[in-house]
Amino acid sequence: MNYRLSAVAQDVKASGVREILKLTQGDSIISFAGGLPAEELFPKEALRQAFDRVFQQGNRALQYGLTEGYTPLREAIAMRMGQKGMPVSPSEIVLTTGSQQAIDLLARVLIEPGDVILVEDPTYLSALQIFRYHSAIVESVQTDDDGMDMAALERKVLARKPKFIYVTPTFANPTGRVWSTERRQALIALCRQHDVLIVEDDPYGEIKFDPSASYPSIYSLDARDGGGAVVYTSTFSKTVVPALRIGWAMGHPTMIDAMARAKQAADLHSSSLDQQALFQLLNHFDIDLHITAIRMEYKKRMWLMHDLLTQKRWDGVRWNKPAGGMFLWMTLPEGVVAEDLLHVAVREGVAFVPGAEFFCGAPVKNTLRLNFSHSSPQALEAGVERLDRSLQHYLNESNRTPILT
């Protein structure tokens, strides 16, 4: 049989993270690769009780549901968003199979082949994969620790007339960066002036390490001027459990209606059973107290990884100290290729994600992403030791000068 795949299907590569995760199955590898939450913090008993409450409602709970999603859950999300300064009605929300499907639905309803999409550099690699699958031209904008460079962005907007701008302004994957409020406001003003939609992806925003810190979403800032310039996406995968695969998108009814029609064609609706269980969980479980516990534990793990790395006294190696989220972003000395280092690391029993895949423009090959949220303190300590051995072995094998000072 000659399987005549489309040109796009033949051209799009598999996610590098997924391929790495295949190598890390089993207990012999300590993985800093996937963006995984800590399993021991999952609200397992509360979730079991939530499903029990759903089943107590009888067979009707097992029936088909609305494409837009379970109405009481959309109402609950609308209430939570309103408390965060993001006014939205349930009719302006569509529930999705994780926030990644929300990005895909946006691509379906917005992108024509050859459309230009502007992104940060580096940015979420699965978003890049989605945009390219829909035959978009994805271009990066110069980015620093405060967000996109607005002068560079305006030049790109004028020259390339993008269909939309995709950003992850709060604890970005992979860098952990947080945009300044000034950059967020400038982005809104620029996009309103040039009639360009903003897609704000916010899977990590609730995992902030300083509870008093304020990181206003771009959606909330836009709402103060009447709204409509932003489609916002988020997920419960990082704050409840990934297996539920419940995310959402919210925005102007024109966008949400179009996404709902696209979703109807894709999968009719996401699991109504899981949506009902999540609603029961939100109704009978203190999700905010749970998120506070996650924040505290992840903050401890971030600092532990940072301190363990600092003790290695590597010369020319830099990494960030994120204010939230799940990742450290590391830059190795010039000439070190993180993808080659990974092969050595897997032999030593530790894994990470090479940073090159996250770049839309020229890949920076001496970068990598480390996840600190999933590993126990003991695993973090052992994993950093293995990473240290991997780096020294890599340098010896490549006849490079050791970087241990």
Instruction: Give the chain's domains with CATH numbers.
Output: 7-42+289-397 (3.90.1150.10), 63-284 (3.40.640.10)
Q: What confidence tens digit (pLDDT) does each residue in 123-137 have?
A: 999 999 999 999 999
Report, as ranges of residue numbers, the positions in the chain whose pLDDT lies below 70.
12-26, 399-405
Q: Which of 136, 100, 99 is nearest to 118 (CA)?
A: 136
Helix axes 125-133, 16-23, angle to 10 degrees: 130
Q: How far apart are CA 44 and CA 244, in angstroms?
A: 12
State residue 55's pLDDT score.
97
- Look at residue 398 in the predicted model and tell me its pLDDT: 72
Q: Two tokens at 275? A: 């949506």
Query: pLDDT above 90 covers what percent of the chain?
Result: 89
Q: What pLDDT does 405 receive?
A: 46
Please state whether the predicted TM-score (pTM) of the whole model is above 0.85.
yes
356-382 in b/e burial notation, b at 16+ Cβ within 10 A?
bbbbbeebbbbbbbbbbbbbeeeebeb
Residue 61 has a CB neighbour count (10 Å cut-off) of: 17
**What is the CB neighbour count within 10 angstroms for residue 329?**
21
In DSSP notation, 268-329 reads: SSS-HHHHHHHHHHHHHS-HHHHHHHHHHHHHHHHHHHHHHHHHT-BTT-EE---SBSSEEE
Identify the burial level of 244 via C-beta atoms within 10 angstroms of its C-beta, where 0-12 means exposed, 13-18 middle and 19 or more buried.
buried
pLDDT at 401: 56
Q: Is omega for the bond preceding 174 within 30 degrees of 0, making it cis?
A: yes
| CB atoms near residue 109 (< 10 Å) | 16
